[in-house]
Amino acid sequence: MKLWDKGISIDKKIEKFTVGNDRELDMFIAEYDITASKAHAKMLGKVGIMTSGEVEDILAELDRLQQQITDGIFAIEDDFEDVHSKIEFELTRYLGDTGKKIHTARSRNDQVLVAMQLYFKENLKSIYSKTEDLIEVLLGLAKEHQEKVLPGYTHLQVAMPSSFGLWFSAYAELLIDDLYLLNAGLRIVDQNPLGSAAGYGSSFPIDREFTTRELGFSEMKYNVVAAQMSRGKSERTVTSNIASLANTLSRFAMDICLYMSQNFDFITFPDELTTGSSIMPHKKNPDVFELIRGRCNKLQAIANEMILITNNLPSGYHRDFQLIKENSIYAVENIKEILDVFTHSIALIQVKDVDLKDEKYKYLFTVDSINDMVMQGKSFREAYVEIGGKVQDGTYEPGEVIKHTHTGSKDNLALEEIERKKREAGER
């Protein structure tokens, strides 16, 4: 069944090409299409296009289909082009002419739009919550290991003293920036497009304010052309937000892979979180974090793909939009799994004691030595030259370990302030 079927046979090769994998993808948005259909039916009853009895019958059938989804038995067979045609078929099969009325005053275009907006809205909230969970774990680890020194690197060369507390809380605070972006994305998708139909509205006296309230949107996309054009913009926004989060997680995963190597040997994980080699019995590989790194980089590529597909499309609907559904759903579902795995794994990290007497860390405290001389009255340039000379002739010896007292430094992590930022991000 096709909602646009006019009784003309379609070339099977063309049909396969144009339908693509919509049936599989639409399983992710089926429940949201049903939710939107319920609101639409109630609205049609409110404005007098349907009788109250017809609305009740349609709502009952939609409830039945919703239960099938909950029970995991709902399916979109090959006879159907997508979830929208499947649902309309079921309503018509059980309700006859009443079922045929469900498509009144709407198009498949705004059906997809509203279902995707509802899908994005709910899942951005889920991604936000999972990110908060990870931040909480990292702040806990930062507090637990705030006294443990971790060599800091620039250009992958030993640079200055850091700490495990600083490392963990650094990523916690970076993830708060990603919360800000998720909030922005949520605000964009939290606008009701239903009622825009094919992109130019309808001559029916529909009540878009009613469906906005019924669907729980905080705002309406008022201009019907703007509503139609939000297709593509919403996907670009959501995948861009996810890409930023993925970038943070990818960099963190890279640190973990680096720090687990024997050359650094700063951290390890329980054996059950790592894999081995088929020929090297000593191997303890960070496969989970390598896959997180790779999958996060793939998610960043998807954001660019969204831009390329939609960049120069004129206003109005174009079939190109079908191509962005798959990877935007892929991005949403993957980032949720990645966050779950990352949070589970990082909570089990084992922090090692770093032997600062090791020769390779000999110059870790040169900057502190310079700063100490400055505090005793020398100019920075004089102190820099003096310590640099000692480094060159091999006579440099670090003095006492100096506390870093300013806000956000290794000995003053400002964890309460970071926690406050996380709380306030959720209040916006």
Backbone phi and psi for residue 379, each to the nearest 5 degrees, phi listed first: -75, 155
Contact between residue 179 and residue 128 where contact means Cβ atoms under 8 Å apart: yes
Is the confidence at residue 414, as pLDDT, over 70? yes
Find all residues with CB under 8 Å of 297, minimum gap 6, and list them. 246, 250
How far apart are alpha carbons 143 and 122 in whole angstroms? 32
Structural contact between residues 168 and 142, judged by C-beta atoms closer than 8 angstroms: yes
Cα 277 from Cα 279, distance rounded (Å): 5
Average pLDDT value for residue range 46-63: 97
Alpha-carbon span 428 to 326, nearest angstrom: 30
Q: Is there a contact between 145 and 108 (Cβ–Cβ < 8 Å)?
A: no
Q: What is the pLDDT at residue 21?
A: 75
Closest CA relative to residue 116, chosen from 203, 232, 3: 232
**The two three-digit tokens of residue 31, written as one number:** 């429940």
pLDDT of residue 180: 97
Q: pTM of the prediction?
A: 0.92
Residue given tokens 């310079």 in the structure block? 370
Looking at every residue in the chain, the average pLDDT score rounds to 92
pLDDT on residue 18: 56
pLDDT at 6 over 80: no
pLDDT tens digits along 288-332: 999 999 999 999 999 999 999 998 888 888 888 888 999 999 999
- Confidence at residue 4, expressed as pLDDT on a 0 to 100 scale: 40
Domains of the chain: 12-103 (1.10.275.10), 108-199+222-351 (1.20.200.10), 359-417 (no CATH)
11 compared with 326, residue with greater pLDDT: 326
Length in residues, the chain: 428
Q: Per residue in 138-183, pLDDT tens?
A: 999 999 999 999 999 999 999 999 999 999 999 999 999 999 999 9
The more confident residue out of 14 and 203 is 203
What's the pLDDT at 14? 60
Query: Mind listing the pLDDT tens digit for each residue in 196-221?
Result: 999 999 999 999 999 999 999 999 99
Q: Is the pLDDT of residue 22 over 80?
A: no
Radius of gyration of the chain (CA): 28
Q: pLDDT tens digits for 240-283?
A: 999 999 999 999 999 999 999 999 999 998 888 777 555 666 66
pLDDT band at residue 132 using 50, 70 and 90 as cut-offs: very high
Q: Give bridge partners of residue 163 from the DSSP assignment.
A: 149
- Condensed to tens digits (0 to 9), the pLDDT of residues 336-395 reads 999 999 999 999 999 999 999 899 999 999 999 999 999 999 999 999 999 999 999 999
d(CA 258, CA 163): 16
Reduce the DSSP state of residue 118 to 3 states and report it. helix
Whether the CB-CB separation of 154 and 362 falls below 8 Å is answered with no
Q: Given this model, what pLDDT does residue 283 score? A: 60
Q: Which two tokens stand for residue 67?
A: 């239960």
pLDDT of residue 78: 85
Report the sign of the C-alpha dihedral through residues 288, 290, 295, 300, in that order.
positive
Q: Check if the beta carbon of residue 163 is closer than 8 Å to that of residue 147.
A: yes
Average pLDDT value for residue range 397-421 = 93
